[in-house]
Amino acid sequence: MQTDSLSAILSALADPTRRAILARLVEGEATVNELAEPFEISLPAISRHLKVLEAAGLISRSRTAQWRPCRIEAAPLKDLSIWIERYRRLWDESFDKMDAYLRDLQKGDPDARKN
Amino acid sequence: MQTDSLSAILSALADPTRRAILARLVEGEATVNELAEPFEISLPAISRHLKVLEAAGLISRSRTAQWRPCRIEAAPLKDLSIWIERYRRLWDESFDKMDAYLRDLQKGDPDARKN
DNA sequence: TCTGTAGTTAACAATTACGTTAATTAGCGA
DNA sequence: TCGCTAATTAACGTAATTGTTAACTACAGA
């Protein structure tokens, strides 16, 4: 499959090298060579990882002279965060209580505020 | 690579069929055949998707008679949620303010509480 | 124009992922 | 024991992923 954007985001993030690149980009923009420096793999391999990240929208690239500085993009991470929110009640007890509270409020339960 | 648990979680979630299975399991336990029903792919294919989800810790399976009811497990989703939190400041302005606030508090800035 | 640096693309190999159909295991019940 | 249902495993094909090295494009500056 792999057509929807969430799949692209998740499989881009599934690779540890790509996650490390993203983590580096939180510090600020970086060129391809700078990003490649901590890794033992070849530059073309890094270039492909960047292409995957770019295709998923996780990074964007500008160009100044012969450099292609990369910057991290928030939107896909936000999308993923929103997706995972639907499961939060599974582990977050206080979310569960909040959820019940809001449901009670909507039902017009006069006691809702007491919980 | 694909040895660390976050990679296993992310690549398990990267498949739309597997995400749909998880979404179904939020409603409650289900057998393999029940889970397979909405999809057009074969039962062995579903069985393998379940194996991937189980390997990532996203589901667990019990057995009663010849059925293997699956249930969703929260822990890996929570791990992923925690991982993504580190990027929240990229899109969440209020998180950013909160972050600055906490940093100021820690520095002992007497004006911190005013923000 | 020539040279060096930055980065990508091409061509190839190995591995993994995902689907299929056919065969197999496991348990229930007549 | 036999047959039915539930589910997995085996064997296979194909496509995608990830890495390599070699060749190429693009720009800066002497």
Q: How confident is the model at residue A110 (pLDDT cuts 50, 70, 90)?
A: low
Q: How far is the CA of B74 from the C1' of D6 (A)?
A: 26
Task: Choose from B84, B85, B93, B95 for mutation: most chain A CBs within 10 A.
Answer: B84
pLDDT > 90: what percent of chain B? 74
Using CB atoms, which residue from A1, A6, A11 is nearest to B11? A11
Residue A114 reports pLDDT greater than 90: no
Which residue is nearest to the C1' sugar atom of D25, using CA? A66
Delineate the domains of chain A, giving CATH numbers in brackets: 5-73 (1.10.10.10), 77-114 (no CATH)
pLDDT digits (tens, 9 = 90+) for A16-26: 999 999 999 99
Using only C-alpha atoms, chain B has a radius of gyration, in whole angstroms, of 20
Cβ atoms within 10 Å, residue A73? 19
Using only C-alpha atoms, chain A has a radius of gyration, in whole angstroms, of 20
Average predicted confidence (pLDDT) for chain B: 90
pLDDT digits (tens, 9 = 90+) for A48-101: 999 999 999 999 999 998 899 999 999 999 999 999 999 999 999 888 788 788
Q: Give pLDDT, residue B49.
A: 98
Q: How far is the CA of A86 from the C1' of C26 (A)?
A: 36
Q: Give pLDDT, residue B103.
A: 83
Is A15 within 8 Å of B7 when comparing Cβ atoms? yes
Angstrom distances, CA of residue A6 to CA of A2, A13, A24, B74: 9, 11, 22, 20
Residue B2 reports pLDDT greater than 80: no
How far off is chain A from B111, nearest CA to CA, in Å?
A: 27
Per-residue b or e along A37-46, where b marks 16 or more CB atoms closer than 10 Å to that residue's CB: eeeeeeeeeb
- Rounded CA separation B77/B80 (Å): 5
Q: Give pLDDT, residue B98.
A: 83
Q: How confident is the model at residue A109 (pLDDT cuts 50, 70, 90)?
A: low
Q: Give pLDDT, residue B115.
A: 34
Q: How far is the CA of A71 from the C1' of C3 (A)?
A: 30
Please tell me whether residue B30 adopts helix, strand or coil conformation.
strand
Token pair 């991982």 is at which residue?
A: B83
Nucleotide nearest to B1 (CA to C1'): D18
pLDDT digits (tens, 9 = 90+) for B52-106: 999 999 999 999 988 999 999 999 999 999 999 999 999 998 887 887 888 888 7
Q: Among A70-74, B1-5, B25-29, which is the least confidently predicted range? A: B1-5
Q: How confident is the model at residue B108 (pLDDT cuts 50, 70, 90)?
A: low
